[in-house]
Amino acid sequence: MQTTTELVEKAAALAARGGRRILGIAGPPAAGKSTLADRLAEALGPATAVVVPMDGFHLARAELARVGRADRKGAPDTFDVAGYVALLGRLRASGGGTVYAPAFDRSLEEPIAGSIPVPPAVPLVITEGNYLLHDAGEWASVRPLLDEAWYLAPDEDLRVRRLVDRHVRHGKEPGAARAWVARSDEANARLVAPGRHRADLVLDIG
């Protein structure tokens, strides 16, 4: 198991290669992807790294209701995949002015456009999300746009507990949270798991 310091050193080495580099952090729901991405960016500083989450490309709740997918929010087809791929392409180009990326507000459960500025001089973009290594449909276009991809493989019991706790914090009753995890989040986790074989680095974490 690698330490956070060692991972920061790896990310710094990627940023130092020249040009704009993109580091992808993938893994199942509640694996700790956003936590690791934020720690790396904080350690490297805003002049070196910016985090651009895949979750900014969630479809809005109104659109999920319109297409009948509100009960499977978080599944691969509930994201604007083409928009995410297009943004990664713009970020790789790194020419011109600041690129603005969307964020995801968990308190609202909605994406917020234009929330994350990525100045042209920043050498490293860290993007994180469940499906960066998914190879079905348009998702297969993501992996070639990543200079490196890391996969987080956490303790499964701990991960499920984190998921339930997360849903409770955001308003679900405990029973409803456990049911959502069993029906939706774990179905997504099974789709994500094969992606570990397409990662440059697999991190077994507790």
The range of the structural domain enclosing residue 40 comes to: 4-154+194-205
- CA terminus-to-terminus distance, the chain: 10
Task: Find tokens 């290594």 and name the residue.
Answer: 133
In a domain, 85, yes or no: yes
N residues, the chain: 206
Q: Which residue has the higher pLDDT, 175 or 22?
A: 22
In a domain, 29, yes or no: yes
- Tokens representing residue 109 in the block: 């459960």
What's the CA gap between 178 and 168, in Å, rounded? 9
Res. 45: pLDDT tops 90: yes
- Provide the pLDDT for residue 72: 83
In a domain, 160, yes or no: no
Res. 168: pLDDT tops 70: yes
In a domain, 189, yes or no: no
| Residues 58-89 pLDDT 10s | 999 999 999 999 888 889 999 999 999 999 99
CATH number at residue 51: 3.40.50.300
Q: Which residue has the higher pLDDT, 178 or 148?
A: 148
Q: How many domains does the chain have?
A: 1
In a domain, 148, yes or no: yes
Res. 206: pLDDT tops 70: no
CA distances from residue 125 to 82, 128, 132, 182, 190 in whole angstroms, order as listed: 18, 10, 14, 33, 27
